Amino acid sequence: MNISKEIQILIYILTILVLISLVPIVQNDYYLTLIYVVVILLFTSFKKERADWLFIIIGLFSVTLGEYLFVNTGVETFNRISLFGVMPLWLPFLWTFVFLSMKRVFWIIFKNYLHN
């Protein structure tokens, strides 16, 4: 099945919006993290792209470190602090999916640009 480039990009945008909208609905950080992990696994199993897992691993660790350092500046605080006592456990996984989506959308746009 060949999905248009625009629809593919829209799917990533809508998925991110859905994941963000789940934050106030799913109060348990562990369940929300599990949902995010399942979404990441679904997106990587249905469409395998080169270096996805590298982006996921680098994204997860770099975003976790970056967010941890940023939160420790006191500029941003969270009420849900299930990870390191400063941020929600699900947050790095949300950012990891965003990181993966940005990579994929970039390549969708770039490949389209090369072929025109």
Total-model pTM: 0.89
Mapped onto helix, strand or coil, the DSSP state of residue 50 is coil
Name residues whose C-beta falls within 8 Å of residue 116's C-beta, 6 or more positions apart in sequence. Answer: none
8 Å CB contact between 71 and 90? no
Find residue 87's DSSP bridge partners.
83
pLDDT for 54-101, tens place per residue? 989 998 999 999 999 999 998 888 999 999 999 999 999 999 999 999
